[in-house]
A and B are shown apart, each in its own frame.
Chain A
């Protein structure tokens, strides 16, 4: 179980903040010398000597009652020993404090470095952590390994995607031949097939995670439709960027957009029906009874259908990509894929800039 208490936060989050551990240790070290008070520095004055003659004087210097008053009649060496122990304890305490502060300082530097790196990476469109709110460790106390795996793989996927986009851009600018271009295009198409495979597995692990696009950045999520982009919308964005096209190609792309729209509408209507069925299921039977297990059982069964919706939506996306690759020449397809990749890079960068924009203090 992961219930965060001050000492038991997971090391992954807390490695920079180990000093919290140090605080309690340092505090305890302080406490163990219980008879010390704020007067420690005064006690440790090097030129302060305590002997039977200057007891009263030292009491005056200390300025507050001290158990050594009561021991005025005890042997001096016992007192001396205690004072020496106090000095030692004070010295150790100061050393620990110094060490702790040094550690704090270096942790602070490290943190600043990490933040800078993160910012640099985010602005280059790299995938970072998907937002701490989508963290799958901790809150409910259970780890969804299917989703953890997906998030990790998605990080790699985005980095590979960025690499392929850069390569494609270079290739197009260098005017390489169709044969070599085809290799790059096929490679990118396979890469997209990969993300759909990953989403298929993730949907089985947690369909709501996929439905809500939790791994995506905020701007990407703004355009979300059943766990991903809406193909007809994307075609409208990309269409102008692939020109020049033949008249037939323009017609084919238009028809493709229409077909996508029709398929999307049918799926959306199915979702509306599912919502209606689910609402009926949850609301069935008497209220105010305080129990609703049969409703929950029935609703759980209905929710299973959500996985099919996500899969069908992804299926439409994949088919749209396939059909585009059939309509376009290899060079046009390369330009199309480049535009597609760059579009999402820009959305990711937008998300990062938006979340870091300067805000008015509350």
Chain B
């Protein structure tokens, strides 16, 4: 699925990734995954979710509605465990990070949480300031 891309003024965003483009050779191990990890660390906001997952769509729509246009990495159903593991190790770090559940939102190179946390922080008014701090929003 390719979500619509609307670039904010003066902010070039890369096109959204799918496993088609991110993974060279049909497997979720190897360079593809490393690229994802790099992007998570580099991008202000990034969404990673299972292909075809409606909740991932919800997160994306919510963030887009706020003026954030996060890159979305879609994981094939069979690769979820591998991707989650890699992210847990590289991003969350150590055993205390806890399992990554999809859809997962990363803000400022760190695991922010899932849909529930995004909703809760938005309702409480904390989300937008956090996004601004991470450089995902200007205004």
A61 within 8 A of B: no
Within 8 A of A (CB), among B83-109: none
Residue from the list A259, A270, A277, A309 in contact with B61, Cβ < 8 A = A270
By a CB distance below 8 angstroms, the chain A residues around B59 are 266
Contact B57 A270, beta carbon cutoff 8 Å: yes
Min CB–CB distance B138 → chain A (angstroms):
18
Q: CB-CB contacts of B54-68 with A at 8 A, as 1s and 0s?
A: 110111011001100
Closest residue of chain A to B1, judged by CB? A273
Residue from the list B65, B119, B122 in contact with A312, Cβ < 8 A = B119
By a CB distance below 8 angstroms, the chain B residues around A255 are 125
B37 within 8 A of A: no
Residue from the list B52, B65, B66, B119 in contact with A319, Cβ < 8 A = B119
B4 within 8 A of A: no
By a CB distance below 8 angstroms, the chain A residues around B57 are 269-270, 273
Contact B123 A260, beta carbon cutoff 8 Å: yes
Min CB–CB distance B80 → chain A (angstroms):
15
By a CB distance below 8 angstroms, the chain A residues around B124 are 319, 322-323, 326
By a CB distance below 8 angstroms, the chain B residues around A252 are 125
Known: A262-B65, A315-B116. A270 touches B55 (CB 8 A): yes
A323 to B57, CA, bound (A): 25
Contact A312 B115, beta carbon cutoff 8 Å: yes
Contact B119 A269, beta carbon cutoff 8 Å: no
A320 to B115, CA, bound (A): 16
By a CB distance below 8 angstroms, the chain A residues around B58 are 266-267, 269-270, 312
Contact B61 A269, beta carbon cutoff 8 Å: yes
B5 within 8 A of A: no
Closest residue of chain A to B65, judged by CB? A262
Contact B62 A277, beta carbon cutoff 8 Å: no
Within 8 A of A (CB), among B114-132: 115-116, 119-120, 122-125
Within 8 A of A (CB), among B29-80: 52-55, 57-59, 61-62, 65-66
Contact B119 A265, beta carbon cutoff 8 Å: no
A267 to B123, CA, bound (A): 14
By a CB distance below 8 angstroms, the chain B residues around A274 are 54
A224 within 8 A of B: no
By a CB distance below 8 angstroms, the chain B residues around A319 are 119-120, 123-124
Residue from the list A266, A271, A305 in contact with B65, Cβ < 8 A = A266
By a CB distance below 8 angstroms, the chain A residues around B65 are 262, 265-266
Residue from the list B55, B61, B120 in contact with A308, Cβ < 8 A = B55
Closest residue of chain A to B125, judged by CB? A255
Within 8 A of B (CB), among A8-56: none
Min CB–CB distance A105 → chain B (angstroms):
59
A309 to B54, CA, bound (A): 9
Contact A266 B125, beta carbon cutoff 8 Å: no
A73 to B52, CA, bound (A): 96
Within 8 A of B (CB), among A258-301: 259-260, 262-263, 265-267, 269-271, 273-274, 277
A255 to B129, CA, bound (A): 13
Contact A315 B120, beta carbon cutoff 8 Å: yes
Min CB–CB distance B104 → chain A (angstroms):
15
A320 to B116, CA, bound (A): 13
Q: CB-CB contacts of A239-259 with B at 8 A, as 1s and 0s?
A: 000000000000010011001
By a CB distance below 8 angstroms, the chain B residues around A340 are none
A128 within 8 A of B: no
Contact A277 B52, beta carbon cutoff 8 Å: yes
Min CB–CB distance A300 → chain B (angstroms):
15
A39 to B122, CA, bound (A): 86
Known: A255-B125, A315-B116. A266 touches B61 (CB 8 A): yes
A316 within 8 A of B: yes
Closest residue of chain B to A313, judged by CB? B119
Min CB–CB distance B116 → chain A (angstroms):
6
Closest residue of chain B to A306, judged by CB? B54
Q: Please list the 10 inter-chain residue pairs (A to B) with the smallest Cβ-Cβ separation, ordered nearest first.
A: A270-B58, A266-B62, A319-B123, A266-B61, A274-B54, A269-B61, A270-B54, A273-B57, A266-B58, A262-B65
Supply 9 A–B pairs (Cβ within 8 Å), ascending by A.
A263-B62, A265-B61, A266-B58, A270-B55, A270-B57, A305-B53, A305-B55, A312-B116, A319-B124
Given contacts A252-B125, A266-B65, 19 further A-B contacts (CB under 8 A): A255-B125, A256-B125, A259-B122, A263-B122, A266-B61, A269-B61, A273-B54, A273-B57, A274-B54, A277-B52, A305-B55, A308-B54, A312-B115, A312-B116, A315-B119, A319-B119, A320-B123, A322-B123, A323-B124
Query: Which residues of B pack against A, CB within 8 Å?
Result: 52-55, 57-59, 61-62, 65-66, 115-116, 119-120, 122-125
